[in-house]
């Protein structure tokens, strides 16, 4: 139920959630920050808890299965700091010509043959990011169009970040190259859409007394006479659900391959089908319906940092 902490509750404009903010890390080695996945469903898992509250205790939890589509790196982007506004803006983009032609990119100014020209002046740039393309046709998401998105490189040195990114152009990206089991993640998605709803269902107010007014399912007052406007704090009817939400500090329990570890129920996941590719098993629930895009990112400012060993005993096959 939407409250004041989720103001203003507007409908998401795009299905692909946007990931913003810098990830602070003590590790100097370069790494990719995020990937795109699709929500398949939930399963039950049995694992050994190793926390302060429960040490070496077997627990049963719910976990969400995210399938990773085939993903390729079709380019990299270099960012500079604008001297006037001091904002970080895109300066140059380098593409892989084969993948660019495959995904129908018309204007390709710089290709992989120009990478050496940028190495001598790489200190002039501020940030490096990879351009990724996901192919949902490779999974059960029922999407024919590709998904292009951007994932920036985290690391202390711009030179090492550029060398790391340039080595991945034109290659197929695997989830184990980005994440590790036991790591904590942030997951950005879009909640279930419930359409246009009234004040009672949308904001949780109580019904009016039957003798108070002609209407029952509405708010009692729209506010004071002064100021002469309706404040945003007043419960009103409007769009409910289909909002951008980010779940923070979710533990990655497992990175699985369907050819080795079959996690599919007998009839497939409800409203999704069978998993065909590699998948992530994440502790807890994630906003959105089945087949919804989920941006999986390394934890930004998580309280629980580091990688802990996960002791999975059992994964149920019932969704």
Q: What is the pLDDT of residues 166-219, one digit of tens each?
A: 999 999 999 999 999 989 999 999 999 999 999 999 999 999 998 888 889 989
- H, E, C per residue of the chain: CCCHHHCCCCCCCCCCCCCCCCCCCCCCCCEECEEEEEEEEEEEEEEEEECCCCEEEEEEEEEEEEECCEEEEEEEEEEEECCCCCCEEEEEEEECHHHHHHCCCCCCCEEHHHHHHHHCCHHHCCEEEEEEEEEHHHCCCCCCCCEEEEEEEECCCHHHHHHHHHCCCCCEECHHHCCCCCCEEEEEEECCEEEEECHHHHHCCCCCCCCCCCCCCCCCCCCCCCCCCCCCCCCCCEEEECCEEEEEEEEEEEEEECCCCCCCCCCCECCCECCCCEEEEEECCCCCCCCCEEEEEECCCCCCCCCCCCCEEEECCCC
> Domains in the chain, start-ordered, CATH in brackets?
34-192+242-315 (2.40.30.10), 193-241 (4.10.960.10)
The mean per-residue pLDDT over the stretch 134-147 comes to 93
In this prediction the pTM is 0.91
Q: Tell me the pLDDT tens digit for each residue of 30-68.
A: 999 999 999 999 999 998 887 777 778 888 999 999 999
């Amino acid at each position: 139920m939407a409250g004041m902490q989720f103001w203003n509750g507007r409908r998401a404009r795009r299905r692909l959630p946007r990931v913003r903010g810098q990830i602070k890390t003590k590790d100097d080695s370069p790494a990719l920050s995020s990937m795109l996945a699709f929500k398949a469903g939930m399963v039950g898992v049995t694992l050994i808890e190793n926390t302060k509250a429960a040490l070496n205790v077997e627990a049963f939890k719910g976990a969400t299965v995210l399938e990773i589509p085939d993903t390729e790196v079709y380019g990299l982007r270099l960012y500079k700091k604008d001297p006037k506004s001091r904002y970080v803006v895109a300066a140059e983009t380098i593409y892989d010509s084969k993948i660019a032609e495959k995904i129908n990119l018309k204007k390709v100014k710089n290709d992989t043959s120009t990478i050496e020209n940028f190495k001598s002046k790489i200190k002039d740039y501020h940030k490096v990011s990879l351009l990724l393309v996901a192919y949902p046709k490779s999974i059960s998401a029922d999407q024919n169009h590709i998904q292009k998105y951007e994932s920036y490189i985290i690391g202390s040195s711009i030179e090492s970040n550029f060398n790391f990114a340039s080595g991945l152009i034109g290659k197929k990206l695997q989830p184990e190259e980005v994440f590790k089991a036991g790591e904590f993640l942030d997951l950005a998605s879009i909640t279930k859409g419930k359409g246009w709803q009234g004040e009672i269902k949308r904001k949780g107010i109580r019904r009016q007394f039957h003798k108070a007014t002609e209407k029952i399912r509405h708010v009692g007052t729209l506010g004071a006479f002064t100021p002469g406007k309706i404040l945003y704090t007043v419960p009103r009817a409007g769009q409910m659900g289909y909002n951008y939400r980010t779940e923070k500090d979710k533990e990655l329990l497992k990175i699985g391959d369907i050819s080795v570890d079959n996690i599919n129920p007998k009839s497939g996941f409800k409203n999704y089908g069978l998993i065909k590719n590699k998948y992530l098993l994440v502790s807890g629930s994630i906003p959105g319906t089945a087949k919804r895009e989920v941006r999986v990112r390394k934890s930004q400012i998580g309280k629980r940092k580091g990688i802990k060993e996960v002791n999975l005993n059992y994964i149920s096959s019932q969704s």
